[in-house]
Amino acid sequence: MSIFSRSLAAFVVCGLILASATASQSQEKAQAVAPSSSCSRDSALAIIQQQIDLSKTFDNDVRRIAVLLRAADLIWPYQQEKARATFTEAFDIAARNFKEKGDKPVNEGRLIVGVPDQRYTVITAIARRDPVWAGKLSKQVLQEEADEARDKAAKDARQDAHTGEKLLGTANALLTSDPAAALSFATSSLSYPATLSIPFFLFKFSDIDKGAADHFYQASLSAYARSPMNQFLYLSSYPFAHNREVGEMPSWTIYAVPPGLKPNPLLERLFMQTLLTRARDLVQNPVPTDSGARWSDASQIFMALTRLEAEVAASLPDLSPALQESKGNISALLTQKDHERTVDTLADPPPKKSFDEQIEAGDRQADATRREAQIGMAILNAPESESLETIEAAAAKIDDLALRAKLLSSVYFDRAQRALKEKRLDDARRLAAKIDSLDQRAFLYSRIATESMKLTRNDTQAREMLEDVLNAMAKAPNTEVTARAQLAVAYLYSSFDPSRGVAVLGDAVKTINRIESIDLSSDRVNQRIEGKGFGRYSSLQSPGFSPETAFREIGKVDFDGTLYLASNLADKSLRAMTSLALADQCLKDQAAKPKPKETRRAPTKP
C-alpha cells in the first residue's frame, strides 16, 4: 500500500474522531479563536452590491444569472427595489441566453444531460418572493413559445412536452416553500402533453398536502382523459400508489412513493371508469395506429387492464365484469403480431440468473464489448449477499484496469452506505478505505463522522490523522477532486478546530486557483462508470463539498479572514458566490442579535 493510500485510509478514522467533539467543546474553541469581525448589516449589503457589479464582467451567462439570483434573494428583505431590478436583469439575460442557445440536451459520453432553461430558473427564484410576478413572467414565456409555434409549419409535440416538464419542474421547486404557487404552475402544465413529471409532482405534493394532491389528480385526469394512451397512462400510478405505470410508457422510472401513501379507492374508481370508457370508445370506433408510437392504444389498454385485473377485483369488484368485457373486446382488435408481442411483454420474466451464472455467461461472450458490459453490469447489480471476494474475482476478468477499479469502488461505496444505515461503522470504515475516488471517500467520511458523534473525544489523534491526510493531498495532482476534498476537510475542521480550518481553506483556495476552468457550482458527489458498451451514472448530495458551505461555516468564527480568502479566488463566479455566502451568514447573525433593552428612567419629582 502506498503512503498516499495509507494516509487516505487514515482519514476515515480521523473523520470519526474529528466529528465526535461535543457541541460545548466546539463552542468554547470557536469563541477562543474568533477574531474581531467587521460583519454588520451595512457591510453585508455592500458585499452583495459588489458581487452584483462584479457579475457584469462575467462571460458565462449561467454563472452570472446564478450570482444575480442569489444576490437579489438576499437583499429582498432590505432593498426590495434593488432586488426587483436585479431579478429583472437576470431574467433579461436568461431570455437572451435561451434565444441564442436554447435548452436542447447535450451528450456527455453516453449520458444525455439536460440543459436548464434559465428563464424558468429565474422564474422559480422570483416565485419564492413574488408569486404573482413570477406568474406573469411565466405567461409571457408561454405566449412567446405559442407565437413561435404558430410561425412553424408543423407543431412540435416534443417541445410542447418539454414546456410542460419545465412548468412542473418549477412547481416541484416551489412545493415546500409556497404550495399555492407550486399548484398554479402545475395547473398551467395541464395544457401540455403528460409526461412522467406528473406522477413525480403528485407523489411529492401528496407528502405535503394529500387533499390538494388528490384534487390536482382529478384535474389532471380530466385534462388528459382523451389523450393518447402513451400520455394518459402516466395517470395510472398515483391512485393505486404504484411505483410504475401499468402501460409501456415512452419514458419511465421507479417513483419514490411516500411510505404512508395508500391506494385511494375514489381515485382508483375515477381512473378505471375513464379507462373503461376509452376502451369502449375504441371498440366502437377503431382508429389507425400512430406510426410513431411504439405501442398502439389497443395494446396499451389491454396491458393496463390485465395488470389491474387483480386489484380491481379486490377493491372495485363491481367494475370487474366491465373490465373483463373490455379486455375481451380490445383483444379482438389486436393483430396477431401485436397480440403476441403484448402477451410476451405481460409474461413473467424468466428466473434471474445467479451472480456466478451471469459472470460465466458474460465470460463466454466472443464480442469483447458485450463481454465487458455483461460482466460489468453483473458486478454493479450484485446482491448484498454476494461476498466481496467473489465480486473481486469477477472484476479481475475486466481487462480495463481503470474500469475495474471504478466498478469495485462503486460496490464498496454502496456497501459502505448500507453499513452506515445498519450502524456497522467498522465495516463502513473498512469499505471506505478501499475506494479510489477521493471525493467519494470524503463523502463517506463525513457520513461516518455524523454517525459516530458519541464514540470518541480524542482531539490529539484526530489532528494528527487529519494532518497526514492533508499531506497526502498536497502530493496529489491539482484536480477538482483534490479541491473538493480540501473543502470537505475545512468544513469538518470548522466544528473541531476553526483556526486550522481557516488554514486548510486557504490551501483549498490555492488548489482551486491552479485549476483552469474549474466548476464547483454543485455540492454533489458524482459517480460515473462507462465501459465500451454500457454506463451507469449517479450522484449524492453532501454540503461539505460546496465552497459556499465551507466558507460560510469557517466565516462564522473568522468573517474577515474568510472574506479575504474569498477575495483571493481567481474564478469570478466562485469568488462572488462564496462572498455572498458570507454576506448571507452575516445578515443572519445580525438578525439574531438581541436588541438592547431600553433603560427606563424614574420619573422626576416636580
**Can you give the pLDDT at residue 457?**
60
**Can you give the pLDDT at residue 106?**
63
**Can you give the pLDDT at residue 429?**
82
Q: What is the pLDDT of residues 158-213, one digit of tens each?
A: 888 989 999 999 999 999 999 999 999 999 999 999 999 999 999 999 999 999 99
Surface-to-core class of residue 602, CB atoms within 10 Å of its CB (0-12 exposed, 13-18 middle, 19+ buried): exposed
Does the structure show a pLDDT above 60 at 484?
yes
Does the structure show a pLDDT above 60 at 460?
no
Q: How confident is the model at residue 153 (pLDDT cuts 50, 70, 90)?
A: low
**Can you give the pLDDT at residue 104?**
72
Does the structure show a pLDDT above 70 at 462?
no
**Can you give the pLDDT at residue 31?**
35
Q: Is residue 324, in this structure, part of any structural domain at all?
A: yes
| Beta-carbon contacts of residue 382 (< 8 Å; ≥ 6 apart) | 355, 391, 411
**Can you give the pLDDT at residue 289?**
67
Q: Which residues pair with residue 527 across a beta bridge? A: 538
Does the structure show a pLDDT above 50 at 17?
no
**Can you give the pLDDT at residue 23?**
34
Q: Is residue 257, in this structure, part of any structural domain at all?
A: yes
Does the structure show a pLDDT above 70 at 292?
no
**Can you give the pLDDT at residue 176?**
92
Compare 261 and 516 and report the one with higher pLDDT: 261
- Mean pLDDT of the region 371-382: 95
- Mean pLDDT of the region 404-419: 93
Q: Give the count of domains, the chain.
A: 1
In this structure, are residues 453 and 493 in contact, taking their beta carbons and an 8 Å threshold?
no
Instruction: Look at 260-274, 367-381, 418-432, 478-492 and tell me which has the smallest mean pLDDT.
Output: 478-492
What is the rounded distance in angstroms from the CA atom of residue 38 to the CA atom of residue 25?
A: 25
Q: How far is CA 460 from CA 457, 465, 501, in A?
A: 9, 9, 15
Q: How far is CA 537 from CA 109, 113, 525, 526, 531, in A?
A: 11, 11, 11, 8, 12
Q: Is residue 398, in this structure, part of any structural domain at all?
A: no
- Mean pLDDT of the region 562-566: 96
Instruction: Look at 200-204, 278-282, 523-527, 599-603 and tell me which has the smallest mean pLDDT.
Output: 599-603
Does the structure show a pLDDT above 70 at 42?
yes
Does the structure show a pLDDT above 50 at 4?
no
- Mean pLDDT of the region 325-344: 93
Q: How far is CA 54 from the centre of its chain?
A: 29
Does the structure show a pLDDT above 80 at 40?
yes
In this structure, are residues 125 and 87 in contact, taking their beta carbons and an 8 Å threshold?
yes
Does the structure show a pLDDT above 60 at 78?
yes
**Can you give the pLDDT at residue 446?**
65
Most confident segment among 72-86, 250-264, 470-484: 72-86
- Mean pLDDT of the region 501-511: 92
- Mean pLDDT of the region 482-502: 84
What is the rounded distance in angstroms from the CA atom of residue 284 to the CA atom of residue 290?
A: 18
Q: Is residue 282, in this structure, part of any structural domain at all?
A: yes
- Mean pLDDT of the region 73-87: 98
Q: Is residue 233, in this structure, part of any structural domain at all?
A: yes
**Can you give the pLDDT at residue 43?**
96
Does the structure show a pLDDT above 50 at 261?
yes
Does the structure show a pLDDT above 50 at 117?
yes
Instruction: Write the DSSP symbol of residue 235.
Output: G
Does the structure show a pLDDT above 70 at 561?
yes
**Can you give the pLDDT at residue 359?**
95
Q: What is the pLDDT of residues 47-59, one digit of tens each?
A: 999 999 999 999 9
Classify 193 in phi/psi space as left (phi over 0), alpha (psi -120 to 50) or beta. Answer: beta
Does the structure show a pLDDT above 80 at 1?
no
**Can you give the pLDDT at residue 315?**
95
Q: Is 602 helix (H, G, I), strand (E, B) or coil?
A: coil
Per-residue b/e over 462-496, b at no fewer than 16 CB within 10 Å? bbebbebbbebbeebeeeebbbbbbbbbbbbbbbb
Nearest to 579, CA basis, from 41, 33, 52: 52
Q: Is residue 396, in this structure, part of any structural domain at all?
A: no
DSSP 485-546: HHHHHHHHHTTT-HHHHHHHHHHHHHHHHTSTT------EEEEEEE-SS-EEEEEEE-GGG-
**Can you give the pLDDT at residue 464?**
58
Does the structure show a pLDDT above 60 at 60?
yes
Query: What is the residue range of 254's domain?
Result: 229-292+297-333
**Can you give the pLDDT at residue 410?**
93
Q: How confident is the model at residue 155 (pLDDT cuts 50, 70, 90)?
A: low
Q: Is residue 323, in this structure, part of any structural domain at all?
A: yes
Q: Is residue 529, in this structure, part of any structural domain at all?
A: no
**Can you give the pLDDT at residue 433?**
84
Average pLDDT, the chain: 85
Does the structure show a pLDDT above 70 at 350?
yes
